[in-house]
């Protein structure tokens, strides 16, 4: 992103403000904001944190009914949402930590803060806790995620200004269909920004901030199976609705030493709240967003199988709400996957096996009696250099 003179001036001003605060002071501020204020919590959390053993997180060890209920709640929060409910994730990490593990979880985070979040200091319980936080909270306001999407768009290959007339018509249809689905939901978190990425082998992919990239192959073949194409679009839009890209990135940031340094910056940013601050967030956009982009690009960010099943559930929901036949859409979608043949770099490689998705999808759209759910394989995630086990295709 090229800074304009105004942006550069704002950035310098923001830099001055930020540099005036030493890093330690920022951490102390962060600590202060995270300190529990609810009644019944320890009055001096920092002291308690210093002596708190690291393996006493209520969720992990306690056998009390409260702990069991809490554990069940956590598991249900992490399970795929089959109802396509409006995302309820919180911005306030401290609040979420209390829900996760009471004051002990807060103390645990304070301990991490006290050790300056050294990645190597993280215990398995710490990682479990932070991964929970990554999936149930968002650390970037929508405005910042949109900037992330725009920056991602800038560095992505783009071919939608060189389409044939037939492809142009298809592109317009895709945009119209996306708008139609988007209008079915309230509080949709972003505009759907449509692009054709000439490097995609097939299908369509949701990125950050409402950015949806479609392949040329999809534009050229969608007239053969229009209902299947609609399903694919609804599925990608659902990834945007659920803010899957940001959550996945948060998760990946917490899962690697390289990402951890960046995660700290996002966590610090999150302490400033959910509203966008033009100066400080302008500076954040210039300094941190490019690092996030290169992290995400290197990682080839893929969604988890839970997120994929959630997106399918939303697609079924929206197709029905739009008066379309979800079963017909699924059949066309499955046929187009089969028809497009194998492609190791394509859509099928980044998605769960079709049979698992079908079981999930059919349960969602079938009226009673629903068939028993097929067990879903844990992570169908692609392994580098290994072909996808199922016949790939386009989506
Ligand atoms: Zn997907």
Measured in Å, residue 236 CA sits from the centre of ligand 1 at 6
Lowest mean pLDDT among 31-40, 172-181, 217-226, 239-248: 31-40
Question: In the predicted model, what is the mean pLDDT of residues 15-24?
Answer: 35
pLDDT over 70 at 9, yes or no: no
Q: 395 CA distance to ligand 1 centroid (A)?
A: 9
Mean local confidence (pLDDT), 210-219: 94
Q: How many angstroms does the Cα of residue 254 sit away from the middle of ligand 1?
A: 22
Q: Which of 192, 190, 189, 231 is nearest to 213 (CA)?
A: 192
Last residue of a domain, one of 281, 308, 326: 281
- The answer to whether residues 81 and 218 belong to one domain is no
Vertex 273: Cα angle to 268 and 275 (nearest 5): 125
Q: Is residue 153 part of a domain?
A: no
Q: Quick one: pLDDT at residue 322? A: 94
User: How does residue 375 score in pLDDT terms, banded at 50, 70 and 90?
Assistant: low
Q: Provide, rounded to the nearest whole percent, the portion of the chain with pLDDT above 90.
A: 27
Of the candidates 257, 296, 283, the one whose C-alpha atom is nearest the C-alpha of residue 7 is 283
Compute, in angstroms, the gap from residue 54 CA to the centroid of ligand 1.
37
Cβ(80)–Cβ(317) below 8 Å? no
Ligand 1 geometric centre to CA of 204 (Å): 9
Largest CA distance in the chain: 69
User: For residue 18, is pLDDT > 50?
Assistant: no
Domain assignment of residue 197, given as a range: 162-245+282-395
Distance 311 CA to ligand 1 centre (A): 6
Determine contact, residues 228/333, Cβ cutoff 8 Å: yes
Mean pLDDT of 149-154: 90
Question: How much distance in Å is there from the Cα of 232 to the middle of ligand 1?
Answer: 8
Same-domain check for residues 241 and 255: no
- The answer to the question of residue 266 being in a domain is yes
Query: Could you say which DSSP state residue 119 is in?
Result: G
C-alpha span between 32 and 38 (Å, rounded): 14
- Across the range 69-96, mean pLDDT stands at 82
CA of 164 from ligand 1 middle (Å) equals 27
Shared domain for 193 and 301, answered yes or no, is yes
Same domain, 127 and 259: yes
**19 part of a folded domain:** no
| Higher local confidence (pLDDT), 287 or 86 | 287
**Is 50 exceeded by the pLDDT of residue 172?**
yes
Mean pLDDT highest for which of 16-30, 102-116, 319-333?
319-333
CA of 83 to the centre of ligand 1 (A): 17
Task: Tell me the DSSP string of 211-279.
Answer: EEEE-HHHHHHTTTSHHHHHHHHHHHHHHHHTTHHHHHHHHHHHTSHHHHHHHHHHHHHHTT-SS--HH
Name the least confident of 30-34, 178-182, 194-198, 375-379: 30-34
> In three state form, how does the secondary structure of 319-386 look?
HHHCCCCHHHHHHHHHHHHHHCCCCCCCHHHHCCCHHHHHHHHHHHHCCCCCCCCCCCCCCCCCCCCC
Of 224, 254, 281, the position where a domain reaches its end is: 281
Query: Distance from the CA of 174 to the center of ligand 1, in angstroms?
Result: 17
Residue 85 has pLDDT above 70, yes or no: yes
- Asked, for residue 339, whether it belongs to a domain, the answer is yes
User: Can you tell me the mean pLDDT for 373-391?
Assistant: 44
Phi, psi at 207, each rounded to 5°: -120, -155
Domain presence at residue 8:
no
What pLDDT, in 10s, does the model give residues 329-371? Answer: 999 998 888 877 655 567 887 888 888 888 877 666 664 443 4
Most confident of 83-97, 147-161, 244-258: 147-161
**35 and 136: one domain?**
yes
Of residues 173 and 376, more confidence is placed in 173
Rounded to the nearest angstrom, the distance between the alpha carbon of 351 and the centre of ligand 1 is 6
Q: Which of 264, 281, 298 is the last residue of a domain?
A: 281
For residue 393, how far is its CA from the centre of ligand 1 (angstroms)?
14
Instruction: Quote the ligand 1 centre to 237 CA distance (angstroms).
Output: 9
| Co-location of 343 and 230 in the same domain | yes
**Centroid of ligand 1 to alpha carbon of 44 (angstroms):** 45
Q: How far apart are the CA of 239 and the centre of ligand 1, in A?
A: 7
Q: Specify whether 190 is located in the same domain as 105.
A: no
To the nearest whole number, what is the mean pLDDT of the chain? 75
**Distance from Cα 102 to the centre of ligand 1, integer Å:** 34
Q: Taking residues 305-330, what's their average pLDDT?
A: 92
The reply to whether 16 falls in a domain is: no
Q: Are 364 and 302 part of one and the same domain?
A: yes
pLDDT digits (tens, 9 = 90+) for 228-284: 999 999 999 999 999 999 899 988 888 777 788 888 888 888 878 888 899 999 999
Question: Within this chain, do residues 103 and 88 fall inside the same structural domain, yes or no?
Answer: yes
CA torsion 294-296-299-302 (nearest 10°) is -160
- Both 334 and 360 in a single domain? yes
One domain, residues 274 and 351: no
Residues 292, 339: one domain? yes
Number of folded domains that form the chain: 2
Residue 10, domain member (yes or no): no
Neighbours of 311 (CB within 10 A): 26
Question: Highest-confidence range of 117-126, 129-138, 195-204, 368-377, by mean pLDDT?
Answer: 195-204
Tell me, in angstroms, the distance from the centre of ligand 1 to residue 357's CA: 10
Q: Which one has a higher pLDDT value, 303 or 39? A: 303
CA 372 / ligand 1 centre spacing (Å): 23
Q: How far is the CA of 308 from the centre of ligand 1 (A)?
A: 5
CA of 303 to the centre of ligand 1 (A): 7
Residue 2 included in any domain = no
Whether 11 has a pLDDT exceeding 60, the answer reads no
Distance (Å) from CA 71 to ligand 1 centroid: 28
Distance CA 357, CA 286 (A): 39
- CA 13 / ligand 1 centre spacing (Å): 41
């Amino acid at each position: 992103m090229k800074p304009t003179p105004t942006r550069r001036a704002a950035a310098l001003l923001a830099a001055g403000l930020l540099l005036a605060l030493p890093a330690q002071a920022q951490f102390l501020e962060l600590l202060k904001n995270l300190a529990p204020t609810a009644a019944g919590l320890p009055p001096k959390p920092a002291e308690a944190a210093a002596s708190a053993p690291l393996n006493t997180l209520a969720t992990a060890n306690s056998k009390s009914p409260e702990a069991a209920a809490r554990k069940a709640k956590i598991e249900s929060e992490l399970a795929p949402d089959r109802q396509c409910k409006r995302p309820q994730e919180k911005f306030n990490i401290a609040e979420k930590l209390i829900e996760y593990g009471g004051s002990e979880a807060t103390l645990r985070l304070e301990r991490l803060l006290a050790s300056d979040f050294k990645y190597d200091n993280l215990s398995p319980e710490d990682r479990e806790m932070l991964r929970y936080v990554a999936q149930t909270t968002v650390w970037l306001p929508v405005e910042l995620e949109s900037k992330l999407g725009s920056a991602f768009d800038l560095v992505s290959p783009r071919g939608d200004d060189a389409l044939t007339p037939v492809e142009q018509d298809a592109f317009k249809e895709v945009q119209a269909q996306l708008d139609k689905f988007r209008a079915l939901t309230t509080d949709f978190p972003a505009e759907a920004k449509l692009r054709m990425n000439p490097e995609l082998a097939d299908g369509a992919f949701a990125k950050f901030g409402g950015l949806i990239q479609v392949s040329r192959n999809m534009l050229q073949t969608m007239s053969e199976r229009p209902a299947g194409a609609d399903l694919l679009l609804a599925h990608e839009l659902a990834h945007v609705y659920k803010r899957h890209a940001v959550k996945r990135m948060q998760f990946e940031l917490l899962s690697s030493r390289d990402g951890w340094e960046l995660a700290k910056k996002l966590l610090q940013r999150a302490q400033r709240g959910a509203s966008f601050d033009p100066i400080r967030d302008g500076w954040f956009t210039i300094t941190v967003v490019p690092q996030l982009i290169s992290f995400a690009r290197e990682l080839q960010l893929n969604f988890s199988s839970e997120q994929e099943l959630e997106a399918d559930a939303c697609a079924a929901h929206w197709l029905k709400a739009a008066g379309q036949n979800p079963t017909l859409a699924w059949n066309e979608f499955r046929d187009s996957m089969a028809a497009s043949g194998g492609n190791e770099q394509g859509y099928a490689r980044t998605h769960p096996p079709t049979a698992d998705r079908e079981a999930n999808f059919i349960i969602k759209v079938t009226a009673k009696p629903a068939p028993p759910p097929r067990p879903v394989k844990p992570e169908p995630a692609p392994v580098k250099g290994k072909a996808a086990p199922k016949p790939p295709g386009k989506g």
